[in-house]
Amino acid sequence: MRQFFQRHPLIVLVIPLGMVFYFVYVGLAWNILVSLSGWTGLRVDYSFKGFGNYLRMLDDSVFWLSLKNTLLLFAIIPICVVLGLFLAVILDKGLKGTNFFRNVFLLPFALSFVVTGTLWAWMYNPANGIINSLLRAMGLGFLAGTWHTAQETVMPAIILALVWQFSGYASLIFLAGLKSVPENQVQAAYLDGASSLKVFWRVILPQLKAPLTTAIVVIAMYALRSFDFIWVLTGGGPGYSSHTLSVMMYRETFLSTRYAYGAAIATALLVLVLLLIVPYTYRTYRR
């Protein structure tokens, strides 16, 4: 048996490649097939309905609200990038306690979305949550609000929690990039009389393009995958105010049993993901 595998080493890839093909590509093809069908209810129905579900989706106000909220989640990207770069610069100074704070910053990223959603639901609790309790303790009770249960504040509340979770990750990505900047280039710039700001802007920042690209793509992917966080925190409410494409897909598919329509929404989400992944993959392999 050992000799057989030594002569044909590529055969060990058959099973994992077959699993990837079946669970990824066959699954995607099946989802598109369902989106073109009339499957509604628990009874399987593959009758071909064409692009009716997609046309219905384009005429659905909830879909457009969900798409807007999904794109609104991308607001966490510039916030996390700026905050993460700021934290990385501080950590790069080698101050006392750097290792401790590095672990503290990364801890939120290590938590699952379910844990994070539950944690922030407690913090946002209007009656006894820590945020409103602190505001009342400081004499700012008039600022206390129903953060994740009001239509006006639910999306900013979600964005704030996601920024908290991913800023530490961005800081470590940038910290690794800062460590890779050649020290002789930095010292040469200082010897030429450049200020600290110019050294950072002209020498260090241009060499952080790769960490920047990685941080943007990873955070964007997590923003698109934040269904469980939003579901635990708000359930998509109040009303439809925190609906995203993933939340709408779940409700339409598993709560309303409109499987074909849910599959069409899933396909729209797939297209949005590909718009992020394809340029990044092309850039990476080209480099």
pLDDT digits (tens, 9 = 90+) for 175-231: 988 888 888 887 887 777 777 788 888 888 888 888 888 898 889 989 988 899 999
Domain residue limits, the chain: 62-286
Spell out the residues 6+ positions from residue 110 whose beta carbon is closer than 8 angstroms to its own: none
Q: How confident is the model at residue 251 (pLDDT cuts 50, 70, 90)?
A: very high
270 class by beta-carbon count within 10 Å (0-12 exposed, 13-18 middle, 19+ buried): middle
CA 79 to chain centre: 13
> CA 115, 119, 124, 126 torsion: positive or negative?
positive
Question: How far is it, in rounded angstroms, from Cα 167 to Cα 164?
Answer: 6
Percent of the chain whose predicted confidence (pLDDT) is above 70: 95
Please state whether 97 falls in left (phi above 0), alpha (psi between -120 and 50) or beta: left
What superfamily does domain 62-286 belong to in CATH?
MetI-like (1.10.3720.10)
Spell out the residues 6+ positions from residue 89 whose beta carbon is closer than 8 angstroms to its own: 174, 178, 200
Q: What Rg do the C-alpha atoms of the chain give, in angstroms? A: 24
* 154 neighbors 234 (Cβ within 8 angstroms): yes
* 36 neighbors 259 (Cβ within 8 angstroms): no
Interval 91-147: pLDDT, tens: 888 777 778 888 888 889 888 999 999 999 999 998 888 998 888 888 887 778 888
Percent of the chain whose predicted confidence (pLDDT) is above 90: 44
Question: How far is it, in rounded angstroms, from Cα 165 to Cα 174?
Answer: 16
* 121 neighbors 232 (Cβ within 8 angstroms): yes
Average pLDDT, the chain: 87
Question: How far is it, in rounded angstroms, from Cα 17 to Cα 26?
Answer: 12
Spell out the residues 6+ positions from residue 226 whose beta carbon is closer than 8 angstroms to its own: 73, 113, 158, 162, 244, 246
Residue among 156, 165, 279, 146 nearest 226 (CA):
165
* 126 neighbors 144 (Cβ within 8 angstroms): yes
Instruction: Tell me what the mean pLDDT of segment 26-32 comes to.
Output: 93
